[in-house]
Amino acid sequence: MAQLSMEEARALAERALRKAGAREAMAASTAQALVRAEAQGLASHGLTRVPQYATHLRNGRADGLAVAVVARQKGAALLIDAKHGLAFPACDLAIGNAIATARTLGVCFVGITNSHHCGVLVDHLRAVTDAGMIGLGFANSPSAMPAAGGKHPIFGTNPVAAAFPRRNNAPLMIDLSLSEVARGKVMVAAKEGKPIPLGWALDRDGNPTTDAKAALEGSMLPLGAVSSPKGSMLALMVELLVTAVIGAQFGFEASSFFVDEGNVPRLGQAFLVIDPGALAGSDAYYDRIEILIAEMLSDEGVRLAGARRTGLERRADESGLTIPDALKNQLDMLAA
């Protein structure tokens, strides 16, 4: 394993993205987000994405020279065009404008069209909680899950995120994809030759399967799919919010991020920013969230959303990151 300080990791990722064709601000924003994910223990959204994004920058699936713009604003509704660039600078622009709008209009809904993979969705909401506001996030992704009753993937795992500021503590951070489990869990089972529970996945013919290898060729199932269509209904809701409503492409129209060749994904993200000062009032909000959290923690065994990630990130800030040698070598080559 290789050791890097946070700053070394950031600089290395930034250089690799620059070499692949990302303009300075895009490389900087993207590198910072990926290092932050790595620091939180979210390796699947961390530095392993640098080679993937670099490939997309090189083969035209993402435009390294794109400059995201405010395409439209009507009151508290805002549309950002990522112009087929990496998603991070477009998300920065969206969130910055949404906070400013919510400050005057109490709330802002911002959509980002022509976008790419947005990494850890909830991390985009950090600036929102820093501003004392509440944020929700939605995103689609290349198709991986069937509609209710269906046999073939149509929706992405379509994450939902929420962030709630606290007065004297790290914000409450919620971030989840709408599949029953992450694909990574199926990959681990396949590697170990172990079966998976019913309700995790379908095989390529759309039949429920306990065979991890068959599952990898099929679809992931939505949250709670063994009992009801609720998870797929939520995935449909997210899909429409970030596509038809704002102009981005459906998950079934986008090629997987994990193949090198493929189309420009043109996916969508959307954020809702709410100023509690315009509703309950900020003092009331901060008082009340602590009452709920105290009640939650009075039940032994309850852990707060995002607490584990926050702890890992604090440790990484002090002691740096540890990544596989192979990944370190790959990054060094890309940055050279």
Span 71-100, contacts to a second copy by CB under 8 A: 72, 74-77, 79
Distance CA 6, CA 326 (A): 18
Site string for a second copy, 211-230 (x = CB under 8 A): ------------xx-xxxxx
Is 291 a residue that touches a second copy (CB under 8 A)?
yes
Q: Which residues contact 251 (CB under 8 A, 6 or more apart)?
A: 140, 141, 142, 143, 144, 154, 155, 156, 158, 239, 267
Q: Which residue among 167, 191, 288, 315 contacts a second copy (CB under 8 A)?
A: 288
Which one among 284, 317, 319, 322 touches a second copy, defined by CB under 8 A?
A: 284
- Binding a second copy by CB under 8 A: which of 25, 43, 245, 264? 245
Residue 131 binding a second copy, by CB under 8 A:
no
From the list 124-132, 208-216, 244-252, 324-332, the region that binds a second copy by CB under 8 A is 244-252
Beta strands at 172-176 and 160-164: parallel, antiparallel or unpaired: antiparallel
Q: What single DSSP character describes residue 221?
A: P
Q: Cα(40)–Cα(316) distance, rounded to whole angstroms?
A: 8
Least distance in angstroms from the C-beta of 24 to a second copy: 30
Instruction: At 151, list the tokens.
Output: 């046999």
250 binds a second copy (CB under 8 A): yes
- 247 lies in the site for a second copy, by CB under 8 A: yes
Does residue 300 touch a second copy according to CB under 8 A? yes
- Report if residue 48 touches a second copy, rule: CB under 8 A: no
Residue span binding a second copy (CB under 8 A) among the ranges 18-26, 55-63, 123-131, 240-248? 240-248
Q: How far apart are CA 117 and CA 112, in angstroms?
A: 12
122 is a site residue for a second copy (CB under 8 A):
no
Separation of alpha carbons 141 and 149, rounded Å: 20
| Closer residue to a second copy, CB minimum distance, 58 or 103 | 103
Question: Closest Cα partner for 267 from 103, 119, 164?
Answer: 119
Q: Which residues in the chain belong to E strands, given as ranges? A: 2-4, 69-74, 77-81, 107-115, 134-139, 160-164, 172-176, 201-202, 219-220, 267-274, 321-323
CB of 235 to a second copy, least distance (A): 10
Binding residues among 152-171 for a second copy as defined by CB under 8 A:
152, 154, 160, 162, 164
- 296 binds a second copy, rule: CB under 8 A: yes
The CB density around residue 72, as the number of other CB atoms within 10 Å, is: 14
- Total binding residues for a second copy by CB under 8 A? 80
- 324 sits near a second copy (criterion: CB under 8 A): no
244 is an interface residue for a second copy by CB under 8 A: yes
CB closer to a second copy, 25 vs 240: 240
Candidates 79, 82, 87; CA nearest to 118 is 87
**How many C-beta atoms surround the C-beta of residue 259 within 10 A?**
10
